[in-house]
């Protein structure tokens, strides 16, 4: 389980969040741009130091640990594939760093399951957007994270690629029994992926729970355009009028 409690005051923004993410869950943080979503992820990753608070992973307080020792992998919108390394070198990067803990045969398994066999010799600039996503996810898995943090990784994709990848994300989350915290302002992603939803507004958590409970929480729904869109999409899916 991941427990987050953080306060951070910036020049014109104040973040005050407290929530928990269950082990093995797919939790989506939904909110408008500027709600503090990415800042929250960077605090959990250890890239931004909060003014006060605590990040607990399992039974361990990781608040004072540097990013590389927290056991969380951060995946930004740009995906962060190293452009000067081939796909193989990108995938091997975390393995070299965790050589005592990880088995090398995991690489073969992941390459197979993510359909990357024919791409190993290519460079990131030679990949399609869907392939880049798969390489980035595979590399994240190879780092053996306790929690995966996604910072709008699908937001720049075309609709049909996005739907394919969301399906892929669901499958690979279940296969590897991952805990995922996914930040987005896209109600489609939230309605498709979320097992738990956290709604963030102006630096505060205004809702935390099952997506179906959010839909009945009129006050929260009316507070944000993104959440209203999320409700409309979910209603359509529930009525069977919308399928992917």
Partner 1 sequence: MSRLNKAFVILGGIGIAFLFLPIFHIFLNLSFQSLLNTIKDPEVINAIFTSLKAAFFAVLLSFALGVPIGFLIAKTEFPFKKFLETCINLPIAIPHVAAGIALLSLFNSKTLVGRLFQFFHIGFVDTIYGVIIAMMFVSFSFVVSASIVGFSSVDEDLELVARSLGASPGYTFFKVTLPLAFPSIIRGCVLAFARSLSEVGALLIIAYYPKTAQILVYERFEEYGLNAARPITAVVIVASLFIFLTLLYLNYKFFQKRTDVKG
Residues within the interface to partner 1 (CB under 8 A) = 42, 45-47, 66-68, 70, 72-80, 82-84, 93-94, 97-98, 123, 125-127, 139-140, 143, 149
Q: Which CB sits closer to partner 1, 99 or 109?
A: 99
Q: Give least dist CB 68 to partner 1, A.
A: 5
Q: Give least dist CB 45 to partner 1, A.
A: 5
Q: Which CB sits closer to partner 1, 128 or 222?
A: 128
Inter-helix orientation angle 87-97/129-142, to 10°: 20
Q: Give least dist CB 212 to partner 1, A.
A: 32
User: What is the C-alpha to C-alpha distance for residues 185 and 199, in angstroms, rounded to an integer?
Assistant: 10
**Cα atoms found within 13 Å of the Cα of residue 75, Cβ hemisphere only:** 26
Say whether 235 sits in a helix, a strand or coil: helix
Collect all residues with Cβ–Cβ distance below 8 Å to 84 and sequence separation of at least 6. 123
Q: Which CB sits closer to partner 1, 31 or 153?
A: 153
Q: Which CB sits closer to partner 1, 145 or 211?
A: 145
Q: Which CB sits closer to partner 1, 70 or 208?
A: 70
Show the beta-strand stretches assigned E in the chain: 2-10, 13-21, 26-30, 52-57, 60-61, 72-75, 147-151, 180-184, 196-201, 204-209
Backbone angles phi, psi at 150, to 5 degrees: -105, 120
Q: Give least dist CB 70 to partner 1, A.
A: 8
Q: Give least dist CB 40 to partner 1, A.
A: 15
């Amino acid at each position: 389980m991941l427990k987050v409690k953080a306060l951070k005051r910036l020049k014109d923004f104040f973040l005050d969040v407290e929530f928990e993410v269950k082990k093995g869950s797919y939790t989506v943080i939904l909110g408008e741009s500027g709600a503090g979503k990415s800042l929250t992820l960077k605090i959990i990753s250890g890239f931004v130091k909060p003014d006060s608070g605590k990040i607990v992973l399992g039974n361990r307080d990781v608040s004072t640990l540097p990013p590389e020792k927290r056991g969380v992998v951060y995946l930004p919108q740009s995906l962060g594939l190293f452009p000067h390394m081939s796909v193989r070198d990108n995938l091997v990067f975390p393995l070299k760093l965790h050589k005592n803990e990880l088995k090398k045969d995991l690489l073969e398994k992941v390459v197979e399951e993510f359909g990357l066999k024919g791409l190993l010799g290519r460079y990131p600039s030679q990949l399609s957007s869907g392939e880049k996503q798969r390489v980035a996810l595979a590399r994240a898995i190879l780092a053996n994270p306790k929690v995966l943090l996604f910072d709008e990784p699908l937001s720049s994709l075309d609709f049909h690629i996005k739907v394919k990848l969301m399906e892929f994300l669901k499958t690979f989350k279940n296969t590897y029994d991952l805990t995922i915290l996914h930040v987005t302002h896209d109600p489609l992603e939230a309605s498709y992926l979320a097992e738990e939803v956290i709604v963030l507004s102006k630096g505060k958590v205004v809702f935390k729970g099952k997506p179906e409970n959010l839909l009945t929480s009129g006050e929260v729904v009316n507070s944000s355009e993104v959440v209203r869109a999320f409700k409309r999409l979910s209603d359509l899916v529930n009525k069977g009028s919308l399928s992917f």
